[in-house]
Every structure is written in structure tokens, then in C-alpha cells.
Structure 1
Amino acid sequence: MCETCIRSEVDITEGIPKQATIHFCRNCERYLQPPTQWIPCVLESRELLTLCIKKLKGLNKVRLIDAGFIWTEPHSRRIKVKLTIQKEVFANTILQQMFQVEYVVAYQQCEDCTRVMAQNTWKAMVQLRQKVPHKRTFLYLEQLILKHSAHKDTTNVKERRDGLDFYYASRSHAVKMLDFLQAVVPVRSKSSEQLISTDIHNNTSNYKFTYSVEIAPICKDDLVCLAPKMAQSLSNINPLCLCYRVGNSVNLIDPHTLTMAEVQSGLYWRNPFSAILATKDLVEYYVFDVEPLGVSRGRFTLADVTLARTSDFGKNDTSFFARSHLGGILKPGDTCLGYDLATTNVNDTNFDRLDAGRIPDVVIVKKSYPNRRKKSRTRHWRLKTLTKEEEDVLPRKQDQEKIEQDYELFLRDLEEDPEFRATINLYKADENATNTAAPAAAPGRSEEEDFPEIALEELMNELNIEEDEEVPSVMPE
């Protein structure tokens, strides 16, 4: 038989379908690769061609020589593929034939998009809480999360009145977030699970997992009073201490002797203590005299300070003598913030056990710049923020003012403490944002030379990636 007669008698494409259906999800623009895998493919790409060829049955009985797309309108929901195959029909006779297959694109919603539409988008949640009246800890924690990209696996972040909720599509991602939180702040956690569905035939169950995480209610610049046994275990430190840093442990300092102690997270939760005075209780003082004592430890220097309340000017001549750990930065004529223990009523059992002679009148916390702060100015640096979903309940005006005040105090802490801001990323502001503050004279000396400013060398340029060419969508909406 000649070649023409063989072609008329034998059809090697018999058994291979000339029409098939592939499923496409319009929300995420992915194709279904049976049985359950969804893969992203671009029109006329190698991945889509492989997917189309795998859909055909009977190709294992022939030899595939070539395959390619035939152009169709992108909106036609039709994909045509031209195939070239070979097969041995008689002894030592190989027949080659070319044919085309038409694929119909059918819409089907993938499992991920189905969960999104059904508001069932998470399998694990991390509830982060702290029982304090401000959000400065969460502002700092937000910057740590952004710096280390700990939020990349979250499906959603919701802001609550007393904390944050992180949602995840996988339990392992929530456990990873929990490990990160334990590494940066002193926390304790407990887990719970809720049964969503079960299959008695396959003996499988679907659960939702919730991790409740509580941050220790001790913040930077808080005044604490330790129990006698705990103070003795911490190198016999003075029970009345000041918290100068909070990391994965609570760092305390005795401002009278410069004795330092580190309270690990496990030790704290076995013997918890709370702050007897917080930053909202700070009182402003004016410094008359500073007498260094020649004792230093790290960035702290011991000194005797003579000071008076700024609110007492023109009313009385009451002055105080205090021993402070800030002898290296305080100078006569400065203004500082401290806790007034002479007139404050402290409700704490451990504080009541202290001898009256061991309780100072004033505990100096930090230096302040009231005259410079009064001047409106624009910072030449800025911070990034997480994309958070706020609560449905609109905040009251007082709550909104409190949030703005907490954010301003957090920015001031970054300006005044180099060690504190070294742990996060600061970015350059817009080019038109300049510092508009004018120097203001403080009583006795100028604050201009001592006012903390963040150098441009500490700032980072934000990387914006803009695509020059637009990637075409697989299917138009």
C-alpha cells in the first residue's frame, strides 16, 4: 500500500479525544491540575501546554513529536493545541499525523478562594494581649515584626482594644509566630482547639487552633517593687527598681547603686510583679545642681541631684535631693521627669514592707525637653506600619487622642534612646519633609545643643519596586 492509502485506511489518532475541558479559578487566576493541585499559568506558556497535554488520554500509545498553541482570542474561553504524533502501523512502517485539540475553559472556584468567600480564611490564630493602659509596647513590637518579616504568612491582622489578632492559613505558621514573640518579649501562652468538621469514614478531623499570648505588663521606664525573696535571688538588689529595657527579659536597675538585674521570662511568670508607677505618673522637675560621684556602669553614671518641681515655681521653695543613674546626661538647668514618691499614694504590698528610710522622695527616670517639644516640627524620618483591620466599633474622640499621644511618646523614646532605636528600622521621610522646629531657650541654658536628633546615617531608603512591563492576566474579568 502506498502512503496515501495507508493514511486513508489507518487513523493513528483514534482513541485520543479531540475536545477536553480544563478548569480555571477567576479569583486567583489558577488552573486545576488533577486531582487537587491549582497552578498559575500564563496563556501560551510552557506550564499551560504541559497541563493541556496531561489532560489527554491515549497519548501513551503513540509517540509525541511536537506540540504548540494555535492562537485564539483571549476572551473566547477556548484553547487550541496542535499536536504531531507518530505510530507504527505495519511492520517497519511508521505513520506521522498532525491534528488539533480544542480545550474549553470552565470556571471553578478553588478551595482557597472558597474559604475566602465563606469567611473561613484561617485555621490558626494568635491573640496577643497586654494588660496596660497604653499601646507603646505594641508599637515597638510592630516595628520588630516588620524588620524581621514575621508577618509574611499572615492572612489578616486585626487590631483590638487591648492587643492584636494574627490569622494564619496553617498551624505551623502560627507556631512560628509564637516562637518569634517568645524570642523578643517576655510572654506566656496557652493553646486551644475547636473541632470544625470530622469524617468518620476516613477518620480525619478539621480543627481551628487558637494561641492566647500575654505580654508581661512591665514596660520601659516603669517603677517596680520586688518581693524580698525575689530581690534577694537577683544578687540582693534593692526591691525598688526602675525598668530601663524590655526584651525577651525584663532589665532592672537600682538608680541608687547602679545594680542591674535581668528577670527572665520564666522567672517572671513564676513570680509575677506589676508596676507601682508608670509613665502616666511622671512629674516634671527642674535641675539645680548635679554632683557626680565617679561611679559608672555602661551608659549610666551615678550622681547626686538637687531639683524641684516645676509646678512649685512661684508657690513654694520646696527642693529635693535625689541620687540618680543619669549623672552623665543631666546638667544644671535641665528639665527631667521622675516619680514623686513623697506625695504619691502607692497601693502595693511589697512597697508597704519597705522601711521609710529606704524610700527616696524622687526617682529620676529620664531627661526631658519641654521647651523644644512645644515647637511644632516635622520629623525627617518615619516608620512603616502593618496593614491592620480595625474594630467595627468606632473609637471615641478621647480614645483617638490617647492613641495619638501614645504614638508621640513612642517616637520620643526612639529619639532619646539610641539603644532602643537600634533594634528597629527607621526610614527617610519625603524630601519635602524638613525639620521646621526653631531653637527655644530653656531656663538657664539652651536645649538646642542637647536635643536628641536622629542622624541621617541611621535612616534607610525605602525600596520601591515598580514593574516596567505589566504581566498580562490569564483570563480577563
Structure 2
Amino acid sequence: MSYIPEQAAMPPEQRKGKILCCECGTPIEPNPVNMCPACIRLNHRDVTDGIPKQATLHFCSGCERYFQPPSEWVHCALESRELLSLCLKKLKGLNRVKLIDAGFLWTEPHSKRIKIKLTVHAEIAGGAVLEQVFAVEYTVAHQMCDDCHRSEAKDYWKASVQVRQKAENKKTFYYLEQMILKHKAHENTLGIKPIHGGLDFFYATEAHARKMLDFVQSVLPCKYQHSKKLISHDIHSNVYNYKFTYSIEIVPVSKDSIICLPKKLSQQLGGISQVCLVYRVTNTVHLIDPTTGQIGELNSTTYWRYPFGSICNPKQLVEYIVMDIEPIMEKDKKIAPGKGAVSNRHVLADVWVVRASELGINDNPIHTRTHLGHILKPGDSVMGYVYKLPTALSVSLRV
């Protein structure tokens, strides 16, 4: 029996001969430069020579943002992907090598030092690829951003949004406040100042003020006016410094108000009654005639073309007790030809009510018609308006 070497037993395609390093004579597998790794590092330049091992990050302690050249300040948490991306952008020589891996090295949180570990590949003479691992240390330097600088100098805002509603009842304005909080539309504000009749929002840029304007327009029907004031002017660089103001006026009607439409507008809405109830306010005003169930909608443009106010607001509501109710059948409804749409969500009904303060004293209930026939039943407590017409006393009911 003869001995067969282990390499001879391997298939020809798996046999690899070894050569001696041309510098130190160490047996190595063949490579394009015929050198061992130690000699390659000695005879070839460091592939990280053009990459700085130390750098500086500017941090604003007022708003806790990092400076991202050329002029942006961004929020970055420690050891986050955003902070790692910002650190890599500070290294100018990375474009000459291939970045394989990058990660943070632990440092004391209060040391004002950030370290990252990088793995790079670079091609050297003969087509060989050299891999190298190194660390870069960043020093966190404090620098006040422009926004914080203006705030300290009491010149912190460049744009303001003035929101006003000229009405006795502020129900629509309170709805706007809730929508601002729900959608966090106030995130970019530098300050909010309550003013009689509304609020003032202050912003560092006109773009943020414009964003708030667009939000208010998407929530409520309103109109606005734009103005700007010149603060300073550099004649050498031709730079102008303005302060911008957006004045927004919200429609002076609110949910559950009774309004009186202009005759021309009433005709445009399909002949709806001029005396209507506002049952909802979104980016349009939703109207309903409680006696016929006819509905209509007004957008911002239409309202300001034919403006009107409220003849009754929710502060004037009076409590009533429902004594009896009788829904109106479809066959008994009188719908004139050419009339507008009728609500499918409401049910017309004849209802007899008595004031809560006169219950047991007044035996003559008030008869009226309501659009809440699908909700009311005898014994319910409801809120309603009392207004006198030329022919009768009418009550408009709401739950």
C-alpha cells in the first residue's frame, strides 16, 4: 500500500499551490502582487490616508439640533441612522474608497465625543483589494442656530398667522383649536399669543406660516389677506429682510346657529328656505331647512360673495320637554318641482313641546316641525330656539 498525499487526493480544480512572498519569503497563496498581507501594508500606502480621523459636529443646545451643511439644522438621536449619515457626510475622502460597514463605538454620553468604526475596501497595484478597519472621532461643539439666536434677540419670528372669527359664539373657533391639536399643526410655531377674537401664530419662516394657512383653509371656510413689512435692506448684497403676515378670517357662523340667507343665494341653493339651521361646519357650511329637510352646502367662495350672519346662536338655546312626536310620512311631504336635495339622514316629524321651566304649569304645548324625528321620543329633553315670525311662534329644535 502506497501513501497518497492529501493534496493529490483533491480534485484538480481544488488544488492550490503556494508561492513565497517576494519580500519576506513567507508561503502564501498566489495573489496579483505576490506579497503577504504584512508586506502589502509595509510597501503600499495606507488606504485611509485621505480620510480625516477627527472631525467636528456643531450642536445647538437650545433646540437640540445638529448642523447639516450648508444651512440646515436637523434633529438626530444618539446612535441613530440619521446621526450616522450626518457623520459620514462630514468625511471628505470617503469617495476614494468603497465603504463596506459603519457603526458607532460606545462613548460616555456626556463626553461630547462620538466615535464611529468604518470598514473600507481599496484597490492597490495589480488589482488586489485591501480591506482596512479604522475609527473616526467627532467632537461635539456648541453653536447657536439662527432660530435660537433670533429668539434670544427678541427678533425670533419672520412670519405670523392671525386667525380671527368675528362672531358672538366661538364654537367654530374652538373646533379649529381641537383640529390643530389633533393634527399637530402647531409643531413649527415659535409662539402662540391669544388675542381678543382669535390667536396669533409666529413662525421662523414664511413656508411654515403658509403651511398653517393651508391647514386652516382645509378645515374651515375662510378668507385671508397677505402683507409684508420691510425690516432691513443690505444695499451691497441686495438682500431684503421682510416680516410676513397672513390675516385669516373664519366665517362668523357655527354649528347649531340659525341663519338668514340672502334671497339670491337661497335661489342658487335650489330654493331652500332663507331661514336655515347650520347643522355642521367643515371646510363647507352645511345647511338644513328643519321644516322640509332640504339641505345645501356653502363653500368659502360662495359665502364671502353673499355674506350673512346668525340670527340665533347656541347661547340663546332654551330647554324643552318633548310631549308627543309624529313622524311625517313620505306621501304627506310637499316637495315643489325644482327644489334642491333632501337629506336622507334626517327624518321630518311634527313635535309638541313644553318649556322645561313651565312643565306642569302650561297645558298648551307648542307645535313645531323638526328634522330630528329619528332621534326624539316623548319625554326627551331638547334644546331649541324661540323666534317670532309675522304669522306664528316657531321653535327650531336640536338635541
Q: TM-score per shorter chain, which class? A: 0.5 to 0.7
| 2:221 corresponds to | 186
1:221 to 256, 264, 271: 256
What is the CA distance between 1:298 and its match in structure 2? 1.6
Task: Give 1:290-309 correspondences, 5 Å limit.
Answer: 290-295=325-330, 297-309=343-355
Aligned length in residues: 345
**Retained in 1: the 8 A contact 2:172–2:253?**
no
Tell me the secondary structure at the aligned position of residue 300 of structure 1.
coil
What is the CA distance between 1:244 and its match in structure 2? 0.8
Runs of at least 5 residues in structure 2 that lack an aligned partner in the other structure: 1-45, 125-133, 334-342
Please identify, of 36-45 and 213-222, the stretch whose mean Cα deviation from structure 2 is larger: 36-45
1:331 to 352, 377, 386: 377
**Retained in 2: the 8 A contact 1:338–1:362?**
no
**Identity %, equivalent residues:** 52
What is the CA distance between 1:304 and its match in structure 2? 1.5
The 1:304/1:199 distance shift into structure 2, 3 A limit, reads same
Question: How many Å separate the matches in 1 of 2:286 and 2:116?
Answer: 68
The 1:118/1:283 distance shift into structure 2, 3 A limit, reads same
Q: Does 1:322 align with 2:357?
A: no
| 1:433 corresponds to | none
**Retained in 2: the 8 A contact 1:294–1:301?**
no
Larger RCO (alpha carbons 8 Å, 6+ apart): 1
**Retained in 2: the 8 A contact 1:31–1:41?**
no
| 1:363 corresponds to | 395
What is the CA distance between 1:307 and its match in structure 2? 1.8
Tell me the secondary structure at the aligned position of residue 256 of structure 1.
coil
The 1:120/1:157 distance shift into structure 2, 3 A limit, reads same
Tell me the secondary structure at the aligned position of residue 144 of structure 2.
coil
Q: Which has the larger radius of gyration?
A: 2
Question: How many Å separate the matches in 1 of 2:279 and 2:381?
Answer: 19
What is the CA distance between 1:324 and its match in structure 2? 1.5
Task: Give 1:49-88 correspondences, 5 Å limit.
Answer: 50=88, 53-54=91-92
| 2:311 corresponds to | 276
Cα deviations across residues 76-128 of structure 1 (Å, max 9, x unaligned)? 768899999x9x9xxxxxxxxxx999987654323233223223333222221
**Retained in 2: the 8 A contact 1:24–1:32?**
yes
Runs of at least 5 residues in structure 1 that lack an aligned partner in the other structure: 1-11, 89-98, 343-353, 368-477
Question: How many Å separate the matches in 1 of 2:146 and 2:302?
Answer: 45
Q: TM-score, normalised by structure 1?
A: 0.57
Tell me the secondary structure at the aligned position of residue 132 of structure 1.
coil
| 2:178 corresponds to | 143
The 1:228/1:202 distance shift into structure 2, 3 A limit, reads same
What is the CA distance between 1:34 and its match in structure 2? 6.2
Question: How many Å separate the matches in 2 of 1:253 and 1:286?
Answer: 23
Tell me the secondary structure at the aligned position of residue 223 of structure 2.
strand
Please identify, of 40-49 and 23-32, the stretch whose mean Cα deviation from structure 2 is larger: 40-49
2:153 to 109, 118, 126: 118
Question: How many Å separate the matches in 2 of 1:300 and 1:147?
Answer: 29
Question: How many Å separate the matches in 1 of 2:322 and 2:51?
Answer: 93
The 1:31/1:318 distance shift into structure 2, 3 A limit, reads closer
